[in-house]
Amino acid sequence: MKPLAAILAFALLATPALAVRPNEMLADPALESRARALSQSLRCLVCRNENIDDSDADLAHDLRVLLRDRLTAGDTDDQALAYIVARYGEFVLLNPTTQGTNLILWGAGPAALLAGAWLALSVTRRRARSAEMAELSAEDQARVKALLDDLPS
C-alpha cells in the first residue's frame, strides 16, 4: 500500500511548473501580479501555443524581462502590450485582435459554416424535387405499361 501512496503523491505533485525564474520576479507584488496576468496572454514565439510564463525558451525569458521592464517604467497594461506587439507583431498575442486583416480569420469559420449549411440545404431540396418528379401519374403509368406490353419479348 505504501508504494501506491507514494506514486499517488508524486502524481499529485507533478503539476506544470512555471518557467519564471526567481531573478525575474518583481519586488512589488502588485506589479508582479500584473506581469503574470499579462504574460498569460503573450505567446512564446519558439513554443508556439504556450504562454511566456510556461515556456523555458530564451526568447520567452527575454519577453518576460521586457514586460517587467515596461511595467516598472510606468507603462499601463495596454501600453506594455502595445509595445511588445509593435516590436514582435500580433503573432505574439495568444488571442489575436478582431481588427484589420484578422477580421478575415475571425469571419472565415462562421462563413464556412453558413456556406456548408446552405449547400446541404440546397442539395436536400434538389433531391426532394427530383424524387417528386420521379413519381408518375396513373395515366402515365398506364401508358408506360401499354408501351412495355407492345414490345416484342
pLDDT tens digits for 82-99? 999 999 888 888 887 777
Q: How far is it, in rounded angstroms, from Cα 36 to Cα 76?
A: 14
Task: Give the domain-ending residue among 67, 92, 117.
Answer: 92
Domain shared by 85 and 114, yes or no = no
Do 48 and 73 have their domain in common? Answer: yes
Which CATH number does the domain housing residue 26 bear? Answer: 1.10.8.640
Taken as a whole, the chain contains a residue count of 153
- List the beta bridge partners of residue 93: 42
**Mean of the per-residue pLDDT values of the chain:** 81
Do 68 and 115 fall within a single domain?
no
**One domain for residues 19 and 83:** yes
- Identify the helix (H) or strand (E) that includes residue 143: helix 138-150
* Type of residue at 25: M
User: pLDDT band for position 34 (50/70/90)?
Assistant: confident
Residue 62 scores a pLDDT above 50: yes
**Averaged over 51-79, what is the pLDDT?**
87
Per the structure, the complete domain to which residue 123 belongs is given by 102-150
Kindly report whether the global pTM for this prediction surpasses the value 0.75.
Answer: no
Please check whether residue 80 is in contact with residue 92, taking contact to mean a CB–CB distance below 8 angstroms: no
81 and 131 in a single domain? The answer is no
Going by pLDDT thresholds of 50, 70 and 90, the confidence category of residue 15 is very low
Q: Which residue has the higher pLDDT, 153 or 145?
A: 145
Q: Last residue of some domain: 92, 124, 140? A: 92
| Domains of the chain: total | 2
Which of 73-77, 103-107, 113-117, 127-131: highest mean pLDDT?
A: 113-117
As a whole number of angstroms, the distance between CA 14 and CA 20 comes to 17
